[in-house]
Structure 1
Amino acid sequence: MSCLTARTGRQRQRYEGHLRLVSGCIPYKFEKSVGGSNCSTEKDLLVLMISSPSRDDLVFPKGGWEDDETMSEAACREAWEEAGVKGVLGETPLGDWEFRSKSKQNSCSLQGGCRGFMFAMEVTEELDSWPEQANYGRKWLTIEEAYRACRYDWMREALKKFVTALPESRENDTIKELEERPLRPISEVEHQMPSQGCFGSHPSIQQLAA
């Protein structure tokens, strides 16, 4: 990509009442692996998470939905800017969730409230360079690893809806098992700093918003 500059500022930011509107995605891919006694080839489902600046956690790429773009375009832009990936975005959001921005977690005011829409994105291209590469590392995780790495309940809920929406996925039992067990501290999840879009919509992703 010729221009590696991320959007900054909130001059074009969309709001719904006091809530800032946010769009993001859960990037995923199926990776072939050999398993079982007969060495059969299987496809493992992996999701991409990114390191958050100045925080010891992992998150999914997301950011402000601006007034000159659609919700889908915002999700694709954030995936490119923060995670350096492009891909096929689901036709509709997995759902929407209300949460507070990380800088306002302990505030009692209305400031910092967000309404976030999350999509599934099947990754087709991983870039070697991306706009916010200096601030965000990226790491591919299994569903179990990603579920444990999520700091917030709303992210775990989005991940569960993502798993349910994928016909190819066999991870529902894993999610059920994880819900019955305590989560490991975030610090136990290994982080990977940088080692080094959007092409239409994916018909297999179903709308699961409440």
Structure 2
Amino acid sequence: MAPPAVAAAPSTTTMVCARQGRLHQRYEGCYRLVSGCIPYMLREEDGERSCQDVLGRLQVLMISTPKRGDLIFPKGGWEDDESIDEAACREAFEEAGVKGIISATPLGEWIFKSKSKQNSCGLQGACKGFMFGLQVTELLEIWPEQVTHGRRWVPVEEAYGLCRYDWMREALDKLKEQLLFESHFRPLPSPELVDSSSLYMVMPAVAEGAVALC
């Protein structure tokens, strides 16, 4: 097995810039390939935890975009020098300023159009997007795209009403299913601060659980 891949992260004095352009963008036929995630955390509560209270404590992080009133989940182009989960971790860092543990199993894949091509005909602007659950372990005060992306924690049930598209609500359904399934086999840890020395770390899968720390 190859050793974990580690990339440098921003220090307190240096900020990594977000990637720009589509020189290394991956495509599948006419579809631009996109990777993203639903960042989440579980609220702390007193008393013993059980799988029944997972959804009641679940909060997801949504971000704003320029000239739009709705909220979205961090996502962006999957590039040819990174794995699909590395791309999701990078987008979470660049757009939402979070790092965390990403699920080994995608929530699913969806076909949609980029926001600038919503009213175009045919397949112009068509994307195939892959979404993951990302348990947040670190919330950064400074991140590359904070000028254009604000962020907001919301209870998962409230998030449904904030989603602009059906595929986003379907991804939330899949996240809840995934968390409930995992909670039957092992306790879900509370978010903890992690070492800020790396942007992401790809780790061996454990019982189909988390595989990357971004």
Give 1:146's aligned amino acid.
A
Report sequence identity in percent: 58
Offset at 1:202? 7.1
What's the counterpart of residue 67 of structure 1?
A: 80
**Within 5 Å, which residues of 2 pair with 1:13-52?**
13-33=25-45, 44-52=57-65
Do the aligned partners of residues 168 and 93 (structure 1) sit closer, same or farther apart at CA in structure 2, a change above 3 Å counting? closer
Q: Give the structure, 1 or 2, with the largest relative contact order (CA under 8 Å, sep 6 or more).
A: 2
How many equivalent pairs are there?
Answer: 175
Instruction: Flag the 1:115–1:169 CA change in 2: closer, same or farther, 3 A.
Output: same
**2: CA distance, partners of 1:145 / 1:8:** 32
RMSD over equivalenced CA pairs, Å? 2.3
TM-score (norm 1): 0.77
8 Å CA contact retained: 2:34, 2:129: yes
Closer/same/farther in 2, CA of residues 44 and 24 from structure 1, 3 Å limit: same
Q: Does 1:121 align with 2:134?
A: yes
C-alpha separation between the residues in 2 aligned to 1:24 and 1:33?
29
Q: Does the CA-based 8 Å contact 1:14-1:20 persist in structure 2?
A: yes
Q: How does 1:33-182 map to 2 (within 5 A)?
A: 33=45, 44-167=57-180
Alignment-mate amino acid for residue 16 of structure 1? E
Structure 1, unaligned stretches of length 5 or more?
36-40, 171-196
| Mapped contact 1:104–1:112 kept (Cα < 8 A) | yes
Q: What is the one-letter code of the residue matched to 1:17? A: G
Label 1:60 to 1:52 Cα distance change in 2 as closer, same or farther (>3 A). Answer: same
Distance (whole Å) between structure 2 residues aligned to residue 168 and residue 137 of structure 1: 31
| C-alpha displacement of 1:198 | 3.6
Give the whole-Å Cα distance in 2 for the aligned partners of 1:48 and 1:202.
25
Structure 2 gaps of 5+ residues are 1-9, 48-52, 184-198
Give the corresponding residue for 1:3: 15
Provide runs of 4+ in structure 1 moved above 2 Å: 167-170, 197-206
Q: Secondary structure at the match of 1:68?
A: coil
Moved more, 91-100 or 197-206: 197-206
The verdict on how the C-alpha distance between 1:203 and 1:150 changes in structure 2, with shifts beyond 3 A counting, is: farther
Once the two structures are superposed, what CA deviation does each residue of 1:69-115 show, in whole Å capped at 9, x if it has no partner? 00011000000000000000001211100001111001003210000
